[in-house]
Amino acid sequence: MCTVATYKTQDFYFGRTLDYEFSYGDEITVTPRNYPFHFRHMSEVVSHYAMIGMAHVAGDYPLYYDAVNEKGLAMAGLNFVGNAVYQEVEEGRENVAQFEFIPWILSKCATVEEAKESLNKMNLVGTPFSEQLPSAQLHWIIADENEAITVECMKDGMHIYDNPVGVLTNNPPFEQQMFQLNNYIGLSPKQPENRFSDKLNFNAYSRGMGALGLPGDLSSTSRFVRVAFTKMNSFSGVSEKASISQFFHILGSVDQQRGCCEVTEGKYEITLYTSCCNASKGIYYYNTYENHQISAVDMHKTNLDQDTLICYPVLQGENIHFQN
């Protein structure tokens, strides 16, 4: 379904793949500081941190899939079908609808630590956006340049986990995803040594055999392991171009091609878009299944003090550079 990763060189980067069989008509959306958020169960917020991310805009409201605010705090929601259970509205708590969760946190929190404080007061409820757009079953990653956490609401309440790998996919719950990494403790980017038997001679006949056993299928458990291994062993230059190039390669390790994941007869899940946001500078980079050219929107080149959304269409169609 989806994969999120964090990455840090000189700046902090946050991004995702969004894997699905169709698009809702997504736009790169900047929510400026004075856009009024009308929360369903809380007071209206008319002044807040600006944010940028990918969203489906419905009724002039940004339904963000992923976003970063002007302070460098980033957040994304990923499918968690069958496990996500939201709470009922509770008197005396900050009742926030599932679709409001990203703007609620990013509008007022500058760091993960501040987000944790907000989560302790919050009650995540299942109020739908509309009849046509019911509540999605999601879990979330919240990250800044220093740390990341995973947030999951289940039958037994809200769970907040430290996320030391800075990676999130889908099912199963995060604790299980982290535990399964133990199965791959022997993987290495280095060539393997013979530990099988000193009585036998072996030939490491190919480069890359240190990672033999790294899962290659498209399941969420395999994607979690693969992108965690790729990210944790990643090395790049520190320039902006080197950093974003490497980030797209990290998420490219879990790219989904049309035809490999059939969801219904003749319909296939694909990587609709891959994003990489420089959270330190507020620049949102992305490419799509139909357009591998990296495009970008810089939130600081917009009017962040206005009170209306600023939306940019997702650019489609391959842009091929002929050299002769």
Integer Cα distance of 49 and 70 in angstroms? 6
**Backbone conformation region of residue 282, classed left if phi is above 0, alpha if psi is from -120 to 50, else beta:** left
Is the CB of residue 83 less than 8 Å from the CB of residue 73? no
What angle is formed at CA 312 by the lines to CA 137 and CA 98, rounded to 5 degrees?
20
Active-site entry in 2, 109, 276, 277: 2
2 catalytic residue (yes or no): yes
Is the CB of residue 67 less than 8 Å from the CB of residue 74? yes
Write out the H or E segment, with its range, that includes residue 231. Answer: helix 220-232
Tell me what percent of the chain is helix, strand and coil, each rounded to the nearest 5. 20, 35, 45
CA dihedral 170, 176, 179, 185 (to 10 degrees): -40
Q: Give me the active site residues, please.
A: 2
